[in-house]
Amino acid sequence: MKRLLASCAALLLAAMSHAQENALWLRNPSISPDGKTIAFGYKGDIYRVDANGGVAVPLTIHEAHDMMPVWSHDGKYIAFASDRYGNFDVFVMPATGGTPVRLTSNSAGDFPYDFTADNKQVLFGSARNAPASSIRFPYRLFRNMYTVPVTGGRATLISAAGADVAHYNKTGDKIIFQDRKGYEDPMRKHHVSSVTRDIWVMDVAKGSYEKVSAFEGEDREPVFGNGNDIYYLSEKGGVSQNLFKGSLSDKNSLQQLTHFTKHPVRNLSKSDNNTCCFTYNGEIYTLKDGEQPRKLEVNIFNDGRAATVKNVPVSGNITEFAMSPDGKEMAFIARGEVFVASVDGNFTKRITNTPQQERMVAWSPDGKKLVYAAERNGNWDIYQTTKVRKEEPYFFTATLLKEEPVIATDAEEFQPVFSPDGKEIAYVENRNVLKVFNIAAGKSRTILPEGHNHSYSDGDWSFAWSPDGKWIVTDDSQGYFFMNNAALIPVDGKGKPFYPVNSGFGEGNCKWSDDGKILTWTSSREGRKSLAKQGSREVDVYAVFFDQPTYDKFKLSKDEFNLLKDKEAAESKTTKDSTAKTKDTASKKTFTPDFTNLENRKIKLTINSASIGDYVLNKDASKLFYMAAFEKGYDLWVTEPRTGETKILAKMGGTPGSIELSKDGNSLFVSNRGSVVKVDASSGKITPVSINTELSLNQEEERKYIFWHAWKQVKEKFYDPTLRNMDWKMYGDNYARFLPYISNNYDFEELLSELLGELNGSHTGGRYSPQPVNGDNTASLGLLYDETSRADGLQVDAVIAGGPFDKAASKLRKGDIIEKIDGNAINDKSDWATLLNRKAGNNILVSIYNPNTKVRWDETVKPISGGEENTLMYKRWVAAMRAMVDKLSNGQVGYVHVQGMNDASYRSVYDEVMGQNRDKKALIVDTRFNGGGWLHDDLYNFLSGKKYLEFAPQGDRLKGGEPSGQWQAPSCVLMSEGNYSDAFIFPYVYKQGNIGKLIGMPVPGTGTAVWWETQIDPTMVFGIPMVGTIGKEGRPTENLQIEPDIRVPLRYEEFLQGKDAQLEAAVKEMLQEIK
């Protein structure tokens, strides 16, 4: 018995020893004012630990994500951010633990920075509207600074400068903060550009701002020290981000306190005795003046507040599907796993069960095998699953399955497709080579070599076997950038690719007819196109016929075709009877395509061009089924090419989806919004395919897979194949060690961003999009308020045009006070955002008071969403800029803002420039805070017009001339540090073309095309900058900053009061040019 007890004790000690191991990936440590205790985040909860390390004690244990602890200056309270109500709000609790009090309720997202000097209020940041007097760009990138009482109540605006990570000095009359100028991921490292953060100090009483850092790279996370001392993090040391000590009285006095080389110092806080606390590589350090950094060992008893394994729904989460040859089974992918469901009935079988991703599933012709691509052991290979027991005819009821690799080499293999006879598998190798694998020989041959296609997103190739297995039709860009043509390739490898269409409009989604005598494809040749070259396009389905008889048959009228079918049916019956008697076993003749005169055997199958998702031609080519968006969403349409009769077969109002036709031609299977439905090909009746299962998900293992998947994707797809000569394996191994200490996607998002940030590239980082259920959602009244006022009610500073109160019946005007909402008084004791929670689209009663007339009245309005108000705020900002230019130029200079690099923005630009601005003598093209897209060539051509022809009826010369669709007068481009991606490329090529001047601030070099890849966890996305752009310098433009011809900063004091010095400089330059 004693031995048993001793063994149990040993096991318990071993378990406790494991539980007390030094915890990693500790977030946002904050040291107490007395320097004795540190609060920090771990796995979504707030903990406290002795400043010397030891066992940490949880302060919060909640299913929500709690983070960013901040101490009051007397050490009695801790404020923190939590998403307990669907978005981050500020909470406060006793420093020793207790029930938190919610201080803010606005769904914009609120994050604590500091306490006021008297500890009575919390300073926090929130991305809300700037005041009416400000001309700050209306983007939620910028946070306002507010204070809110620690007992709860109404928030008061301190600054709308867009400050971040702010702290008071001891007397509370100054605030030090880091700025934010643009969209770049906050975890990006080593970049030296105009968008990197700088340190500023605000004089609270004067409302003035002073820049106190000078390095052109990252300076961030500042705190005040004693007297004029300041501490902040900087990459000024040239290797990694470290801790520096500076002085407000002597800006040249800068002392580097830490000298880490591999990873950045982050999350700086400081005690009253100048003990600094920060994280380095996932662990907490402290540093006292004159000493070396000291790493803390933090032990945590935490078995996790959420189950590692959970069940997630499969239904509604299907990403692809494939029907079995007999039409009785449906294979599909959900959350990166392979399943098979019965088409009729409620059977669903999980085929794979791995943390890794499987995709691109396909059936063997006999329906006995499933093949798919799987990323195992860090490599994509082709796997096959078969049923073990012969007495089990279907996968969906199979009890035993056998999985084995079919094509597994050091290369990466994707998109397996069986040949019609089941003897070979076509697949893509390394994303740029098309191969065929002979199963019996176990060998592969190349049929389309490297250099033809360059994959952008995995799985973006389209190819298909001909029914006789002699040809494969495949996308072929022929080495060009995104210009696909259909190539017919002999499967035996003998002969060159043949291009049956080779149109300048390209061919996509090519398919064979059932007999292989027709090839169909989609093309925008005759469809309506976006004004921008890279915008959406309407397409049609076309066909080319590989022999004259098939074409002649297709051209018959419907009546003629029906007569022919009757004749063929009779002949077929006679042939069958004869065959039965003679037992003739002669094989069918092999079809030999006729590639001559194909131009005369091409035809458009669709009657109306449309946005078409997928399509399928029935067996006798008498009907074409396709998903098209003519109305709201995509519906299933059918057209009879012979008659032109076209109608909606099934109203679905869904996503583009994919379509498969059953072998008997009686049913269509269509994917729609994550589900698959069966549609009767004649009546259009919709029957959902039942998915009767859940997926048991190991979240830790899935995150581990996503991490290494991202690491590998970067290695394979980053625009610089050398990865900047960095030790990528070292960084992967380093960050991977934190995975066991991560239990949520907020922390995982940061981990991915830290890893990808090592690349010093744009368009990187992880992105987590939480999906809160019934979270708070603050509605908007379309008003701007005086948020500095502490008086009861909300004083209106502006009525936003197009908002709920911008109505003829409304008497509300600037200066009026909103006293109540739905009878609830607005005062300093509560957050008025609660009165608008989830009220968008619903009528509410607003009680209003005019302080001048002393009149009170009520108005009923319907609030709008925050997103709708954002749109109105953008329009308001553009109108203000336009009015400013008109006033400063006395109507001589036009103005247009390019909101995004997309077709919608280009249409607005064209509409305004060639409409209300066409008589202007010059044009200001404002691209500030444009987040990118693909519009540079359109804008370049539009603004580079040179008149070459005029028109003169009866000798009377008309205005304008050719090129009539281009701007021919002088122009200039306004730009800022916030230009991103293609909004870098446009001013870059504009300057190369010497079209006009660039005015404003430098634009960081971010002109690299990105692939934002959604993960098997659909709430997670990460970015890979894949396609570099090379200009006249002969090098990638990434990190190649554009300098303006006229450099003009936008100062806080000015833009907060409605002055735009950059716009003024642009008007001045244009007036000079048109003198």
Strand residue runs (E) in 335-430? 337-342, 348-350, 358-363, 369-376, 379-387, 401-407, 413-418, 424-429
Q: Which residues contact residue 1054 at a Cβ distance below 8 angstroms, ignoring those fewer than 6 apart? A: 1060, 1061
Residue with tokens 């989604």: 509
CA atoms within 13 A on the CB side of 815: 6
d(CA 263, CA 241): 7
d(CA 1001, CA 195): 10
Task: Identify residue 771 by its one-letter amino acid code.
Answer: Q
**Cα 136 from chain centre:** 25
Which member of 65, 73, 763, 936 is catalytic? Answer: 763
Which member of 126, 523, 753, 981 is catalytic? Answer: 981
Q: Which of 410, 489, 425, 418 minimizes the C-alpha distance to 453?
A: 489
d(CA 43, CA 83): 14
The CA-CA-CA angle for residues 308, 312, 314, to 5°, reads 145
Q: Which of 1057, 905, 1064 minimizes the C-alpha distance to 986?
A: 905
User: Contact at 8 Å (CB) between 768 and 856?
Assistant: no
Q: Which of 114, 84, 109 minimizes the C-alpha distance to 99?
A: 84
Q: Which of 931, 893, 895, 930 minimizes the C-alpha distance to 912?
A: 895
Active site residue 190: no
Query: Contacts for 325-330 with beta carbons within 8 Å, 24 or more apart?
Result: 325/363, 325/365, 325/366, 325/367, 325/663, 326/367, 326/663, 327/662, 327/663, 327/664, 327/667, 328/394, 329/367, 329/394, 329/395, 329/396, 330/669, 330/676, 330/689
Task: Identify residue 487 by its one-letter amino acid code.
Answer: A
Active site residue 763: yes
Which member of 218, 424, 702, 1038 is catalytic? Answer: 1038
User: Contact at 8 Å (CB) between 31 and 271?
Assistant: yes
Q: Which residues contact residue 783 at a Cβ distance below 8 angstroms, ignoring those fewer than 6 apart? A: 794, 796, 797, 798, 799, 800, 803, 805, 812, 818
d(CA 1064, CA 1048): 10
- For residue 342, the SS3 value is strand
Residue with tokens 């509560």: 830
User: Contact at 8 Å (CB) between 369 and 386?
Assistant: yes
d(CA 371, CA 361): 6
Task: Give 433-481 as a 3 state SS string.
Answer: EEEEEECCCCEEEEEECCCCCCCCCCCCCCEEECCCCCEEEEEECCCCC
Q: Are strands 298-299 and 54-55 parallel, antiparallel or unpaired?
A: parallel
CA atoms within 13 A on the CB side of 231: 24
Task: Give 668-717 as a 3 state SS string.
Answer: EEEEECCEEEEEECCCCCEEECCCCCEEEEEHHHHHHHHHHHHHHHHHHH
Task: Give 276-335 as a 3 state SS string.
Answer: EEEEECCEEEEECCCCCCEECCEECCCCCCCCCEEEEECCCCEEEEEECCCCCEEEEEEC
Q: Are strands 276-280 and 624-631 parallel, antiparallel or unpaired?
A: unpaired
Rg (CA), the chain: 33
Active site residue 454: no
User: Contact at 8 Å (CB) between 176 and 169?
Assistant: yes
- For residue 906, the SS3 value is helix
Cα dihedral: 51, 53, 58, 63 (round 10)? 110
Nearest-10 crossing angle of helices 903-913, 936-943: 10
Phi, psi for residue 975 in degrees, rounded to 5: -145, 165
- Return the active site residues: 763, 981, 1038
